[in-house]
Amino acid sequence: MTDTAIATGTDEPVADFAARARAWLAQNMPPIDPDDPPFMVRAEQQSWDRAKELQKKLYEGGFAGICFPREYGGLGLDLAYQKAFNAECRSYEMPLILNTPSFTICGATILDVGSEEQKRERISAAIRGDEILCQLLSEPSGGSDLAGVITRAEKVGDKWIINGAKTWSTSAFAADYGLMLARTDWTVPKHEGLTMFLVPLAAPGITMRRIKEVNGNEEFCEEFFDGLELGDDAVVGAVNDGWTVASRQLHHERRAVGGGSEFASGTGAENASEMPPDHVGLAIATGQDTDPRVQDLAGRAYARRIVKEQLIEHVSRSIADGSLPPNAGTLIRLFHAETTELEVDTALAIAGTAGVIDDGDGLLEIGVRYLSRQTGSLGGGSSEMARNVISERVLGFPREAAADRGVPFNQVKRNKS
Ligand SMILES: Cc1cc2nc3c(=O)[nH]c(=O)nc-3n(C[C@H](O)[C@H](O)[C@H](O)COP(=O)(O)OP(=O)(O)OC[C@H]3O[C@@H](n4cnc5c(N)ncnc54)[C@H](O)[C@@H]3O)c2cc1C
């Protein structure tokens, strides 16, 4: 930890911390136009190298890991300090791509349930800008039924031997360690035979491939485990209690997606393509600003965005004061996904055929963005699963029927068996 980080403590008023951050940022971080941030492409290694470089600067300046405990390399401060820092750093280039999943989901989960060694080593390495963490949960056989994973971990002597496959791992190619859920006991019901492992991604026995998406991006990866060997020190939480760990991950993911994680540093879109489309500007640029149909479309999308912002505020506050259960974070996640789809659909409806033709006016970007409009409805669990969570765990409706409930996993019928 740097001297500056050691010197920082809860005795420092938030306003003083903010003033110190303001002065340091002006001296040390590259300034940007917050309405036109530099392009960070998650699929490109150079974006991650740049993010690590910026993270190291923050660490050396004593402004990294603001809400992580001091013993793991952070500052041990509360959300008010992180919010103050976020307000100050808006006009500077920040390593935003490190926030999710590395800090907000993986770091947060390790902090909750990891061993002392995992916390000291992995969290502090991430805060220093030396390492990146990712999630290895979904499998080729499906991601919605997370408790049904079939990647196998068997204890042979003092080693765990891993065989299986994972897919859709965001930015795994750039990561150093991944939280990987595997089945360690097939004789008990599905939630009871799982264990979470912290996997070093460069280890022998792992083959990683990039997945090419329909929009040309290659951000996601798939991993094949062929006799990967891990020690007991790779187990996160307890053996056969991996569902508890995975549940913490999902909890942190819901908070992160809704913008409610104290472990995210910096605000705003990672790049211009993530910012809400400017429907009014688009209507003017295409000469349709007096068209009542276009006005109606833009008005609907705008109203939806305002409602989303208020919903995030209301639900976050209600979860914090206990008037809504933590699972209510799924309301934010669902509304966010639906709003994103509406915003992108609206942009394409206004652009019309110009959105799918590359004639140099920049409107093709809208068509390309349309191709990935549904990612928000799948990442961190699909919108259908989000509705299940809301109905069963927020509204209290009966749980959906499940043929495998309470059945030992090795007796559950899978695929056509
Ligand atoms: C942007 C993005 C980032 C991601 N990042 C990661 C990552 O870092 N790590 C990782 O492990 N995975 C990641 N994923 C994968 C993601 O978690 C899965 O895509 C998701 O859980 C759905 O799994 P699936 O694609 O296998 O669909 P399936 O589980 O095969 O589902 C197919 C369809 O059936 C529906 N369905 C399934 N079960 C039910 C049910 N019980 N009730 C109603 N409908 C149901 C689903 O909603 C879906 O529409 C990411 C995905 C995206 C899009």
Whether 14 and 118 map to the same domain: the answer is yes
Tell me which of 30-44, 105-119, 231-245 is least confident. 30-44
Domain CATH number, residue 291: 1.20.140
CATH number at residue 30: 1.10.540.10
The ipTM assigned to this model is 0.97
Looking at the fold, whether 219 and 145 belong to one and the same domain comes out as: yes
Q: 219 alpha carbon to ligand 1 midpoint, in Å?
A: 16
Does residue 67 or residue 381 have the better pLDDT? 67
Rounded Cα distance, 165 and 222, in Å: 7
For ligand 1, atom 6, the nearest C-alpha belongs to 169
Residues 299, 220 contacting (CB under 8 angstroms): no
Q: How far is the CA of 304 from the centre of ligand 1 (A)?
A: 25
109, 281, 284, 350, 389 from 288: Cα distances, Å: 48, 10, 6, 8, 41
CA of 175 to the centre of ligand 1 (A): 21
- Res 37: pLDDT: 76
Same-domain status, 120 and 8? yes
Axis-axis angle for helices 364-371, 329-351 (nearest 10)? 140
State whether the beta carbon of 384 lies less than 6 angstroms from ligand 1.
Answer: yes
Question: Does residue 54 share a domain with residue 76?
Answer: yes
- Which two structure tokens, joined as six digits, stand for 294? 């276009």
Handedness of CA 242, 245, 251, 254 (dihedral sign): negative
pLDDT of residue 271: 64
Ligand 1 touching residue 375 (CB < 6 A): yes
Rounded distance from Cα 389 to ligand 1 centre (Å): 14
Output the six-digit token pair for 67. Answer: 């809400």
Q: Is the pLDDT at 141 greater than 50, yes or no?
A: yes
The gap from C-alpha 102 to its chain's centroid, in whole angstroms, comes to 7
Work out how many domains the chain is built from and give that number: 3
210 lies in the same domain as 97: no
- Do 101 and 144 fall within a single domain? no
- Decide: 378 in ligand 1 pocket, CB within 6 A: yes
The CATH number given to whatever domain includes residue 158 is 2.40.110.10
The response to whether residue 170 sits with its C-beta less than 6 Å from ligand 1 reads yes
Which pLDDT score is estimated for 258? 67
Q: Domain for residue 413, yes or no? A: no
Contact partners, residue 53, CB within 8 Å, separation at least 6: 129
User: Domain containing 146: what range?
Assistant: 135-241
Together in a domain, 122 and 147: no
Whose Cα sits closest to atom 40 in ligand 1?
Answer: 385
Q: 289 and 234 in one domain?
A: no
Q: Which ligand 1 atom minimizes the distance to the CA of 382?
A: 47
Atom of ligand 1 nearest to the CA of 170: 8
